[in-house]
Amino acid sequence: MAIQPPLSLKGRALRLLGAREHSRAELERKLEPFEEEPGSLAEALDALQAKGFISEQRVLESVLNRRSAKLGATRIRHELQGKGLPPEAVMEAVEQLRATEVERAREVWLKKFGQPPADAAQRGKQMRFLASRGFCGDAIRRVVAGDDD
């Protein structure tokens, strides 16, 4: 069996991008240990970004599409910030999510519980569950209380 040469920085970046969308900051963080010459990582990422392989907008849309059905705006905001996306783009996306927060929280609640809490202990459990998913307090109260407005 022939020994394969180690992947270049660009090759490693393309392999990561083939699995899912990554922001430039994520790629820098993951590929930094493999950088042999100072500046070579930035050079490789600049080339990939110029060719359209790295797109902050696609990363944002990907996270929103994958995660918005299960998570609240707060938790998604933390994920987007962790990916190193521009703060203005993150805030704009979070504002769009807040418009549907109650409906999304209700869908998650229905799938998990499906019926109103019978006592205070169940109520607390349901509220903690929704809070752990990143939904805001107002949406949680409305869903668990059964408000339909």
Residue type, 140: I
CATH top-level class for 8-54? mainly alpha
Rounded average pLDDT over 5-16 = 88
- At 84, is the secondary structure helix, strand, or coil? coil
Residue with tokens 């998990």: 112
pLDDT tens across 89-125, in order?
999 999 999 999 999 999 999 999 989 999 999 999 9
What is the model's pLDDT at position 1?
61
pLDDT tens across 39-72, in order?
899 999 999 999 999 999 999 999 999 999 999 9
Cα angle value 46/49/54 (rounded, 5°): 130
User: What token pair was written down for 52?
Assistant: 């359209």
Q: Where in the chain is the domain with CATH 1.10.10?
A: 8-54, 101-145
Long-range (24+ apart) CB contacts under 8 A made by 107-112 are: 107/69, 108/69, 108/70, 108/133, 108/135, 109/143, 109/144
Cα angle value 66/77/65 (rounded, 5°): 15
Task: Decide if pLDDT at 149 tops 60.
Answer: no
Q: What is the reported pTM?
A: 0.83
Q: Where are the alpha helices (DSSP H) in the chain?
A: 9-19, 24-31, 40-50, 56-67, 73-82, 87-98, 101-112, 120-132, 137-145
The fold for domain 101-145 equals: Arc Repressor Mutant, subunit A (1.10.10)
Assess contact for 48 and 80: CB atoms under 8 A: no
